Amino acid sequence: MEIRELKPLTRVEGEGRVILKFKDGLVEDVYINIFEPPRFFEGILKGRKFSSVMDITARICGICPIAYQMSSVQAIESIFGVEVFSEIENLRRLFYYSEWISSHVLHIFFLHLPDFLGVSSIFDIHRVQPEVVKRVLRLKEYGAKLTELIGGRSSHPVSVVVGGFSKVPRKENFTKLLSDFDKVYEDAIFLFEYLASLNYPEYSLGEEVLFVSLIDGDNYPILKGEIYSSDGFVVSKNEFSDYFVEYELPYSNAKFCKRKDGRHYIVGPLARFNNSFEKLLDSVKQLALKYRITPPVMNPYKSILVRMLEVIDCLERGRSVMEKYRDITKPVVDYRVVAGVGTGISEAPRGVLWHRYRLNSDGLVEEADIVPPTSQNQYVMELDVRRCLAGKTEKESLEKVEEAEKLIRNYDPCISCATHFLRVEVIS
């Protein structure tokens, strides 16, 4: 068996590689080998105080720290029996919208768009289309400024505490963001139309793949909800681990997930859009229909358009929260530390993020369990790459490596979350 390193897999968050296994000169099997060094978060959380958990889990991912904070804080609040005030919940939604805007814009334009233009990076796009990049940066900054206002800084914000926020903004703090809104909204629409004008490869997920996302009343899912599978199956956050299982395979430091009945599924923008299209804002639905983006979207390449629609939805919803915002006099609910087990679930930009903690009566973590979106997408991501490369000769497969990388990027994998260097190795 010969192992050859070909070229790094790039423009993804974290490090991993595709491994091709040859038999009789043909690709027999394909694996995505994630060897991002594990940082053992579930282990190092043990013994930590409940109040440090949101600070620590944020560091699992520099792109979606708020998602980690929201799933953690809600898990701990469910142990303490805390119900936050509705104005705090609205502020948490606004906080989460800001992360979706920043995270989606980062993936759409910095990591994903170069694939559609056949260039290496956003630096190349800047050389030929500086006006597009200018709008991208303005939009990204808007998300970052909103995160900063509520959380103190755009990455690893500091204000989320059990029971609410350590400090909340005042109404007048939103004035600048509200006055900049129209310009940024126009940028977002311009950028959506720009993306819609790109050429999309013909591709479809298999019918057997389920879409799993949260459902939360009339809301497009983000902060909380029950877990809905596209075959109609619904479970509560506390039942997640009864119906969805994580499993390990020897070639990956990230775990895989499936439903206990053996069905594989994806989470993230396509799942949310396909399951909850009706719950998008009317203006966003109109925009989707105008460009013939209707559920079920089965082409993962088009996830870039769905992400952009979600950005627009977050912007408009964000404006509404900012406009209706009234000064909050009591930002934290009183609570008593008790022992117990609790779960928290929310929609990270990349999909369903589930946490469970067991605390002792001193509020110290005895057990932590975290299921990130990328582990849940890993199987189907691998299926796409296998479909692309299996049965090919060595020469053919090497020509198709670039396409395989694109198929992976469609899922916006967050490898730090799921456990490094994406490299392609050939075993022959």
Partner 1 sequence: MRVGVFKFSSCDGCQLAFFDVLEELLKSREIQIEFFLEAQSINRFDTFDVSFVEGSVSTEEEEERIRQIRESSRYLVSIGACAVSGGIQSIRNFLDFETLKNEVYNYVDLHNSLPTSRPISDYVKVNYEVRGCPINAFELVEIVTSIILNKSLTVNLNPVCVECKAKGNICILVLGSPCLGPITASGCGALCPSFKRGCYGCFGPLRGSNFEGLKQIFKERGWDFQESILSSFNSYNKNFRDEVWKLGS
358: which residues sit within 8 A by CB, 6+ positions away? 340, 341, 365, 366, 367, 368
For the window 111-130, what string marks contact with partner 1 as x by the rule CB under 8 A?
Answer: x--x-----xxxxx-x----
d(CA 349, CA 65): 10
Of the candidates 261, 263, 271, the one whose C-alpha atom is nearest the C-alpha of residue 228 is 271
Q: Measuring CA to CA, which residue among 206, 405, 197, 408 is closest to residue 298?
A: 206
Choose the binding region for partner 1 from 89-97, 156-164, 212-220, 344-352 (rule: CB under 8 A): 156-164
Nearest approach, Cβ of residue 85 and partner 1 (Å)? 17
Tokens 């013939």 correspond to: 292
Question: With binding defined as CB under 8 A, does residue 15 bind partner 1?
Answer: yes
Contact flag: residue 62 with partner 1 (CB under 8 A) = yes
From the list 152, 201, 206, 391, which residue makes contact with partner 1 (rule: CB under 8 A)? 152
Under the binding rule (CB under 8 A), the answer on residue 391 touching partner 1 is no
Q: Is 43 in the site for partner 1 (CB under 8 A)?
A: yes
Binding segment for partner 1 (CB under 8 A), chosen from 29-37, 196-204, 321-329, 387-395, is 29-37
Residue 225 as a binder of partner 1 (CB under 8 A): the answer is: no
Binding mask 297-336 for partner 1 (x = CB under 8 A): ----------------------------------------
CB of 281 to partner 1, least distance (A): 28
Strand, coil or helix: what is 156? coil
User: In 3-state terms, what secondary structure has residue 1?
Assistant: coil
Which of 7, 233, 10, 237 lies closest to 115, judged by CA? 10
Burial 146-158 (b: 16+ CB within 10 A, else e): bbebbbeebbbbe
Strand, coil or helix: 218? coil
Q: CB of residue 190 vs partner 1: minimum separation in angstroms?
A: 18
Member of 14, 143, 164, 269 binding partner 1 (CB under 8 A):
14
39 binds partner 1 (CB under 8 A): yes
Out of 6, 158, 189, 198, point to the residue binding partner 1 (CB under 8 A).
158
End-to-end CA distance of the chain: 5
Q: Tally the residues of the chain.
A: 428
Concatenated DSSP letters for 29-55? EEEEE--PPP--HHHHTTT-BGGGHHH
Q: Which of 5, 25, 83, 153 binds partner 1 (CB under 8 A)?
A: 153
User: Which residues sit at the interface with partner 1, rule CB under 8 A?
Assistant: 8, 10-15, 35-44, 46, 48-49, 52, 55-56, 59-63, 65, 106, 110-111, 114, 120-124, 126, 133, 137, 140, 144, 152-156, 158-159, 161, 166-167, 248, 250, 252-253, 405, 416, 420-422
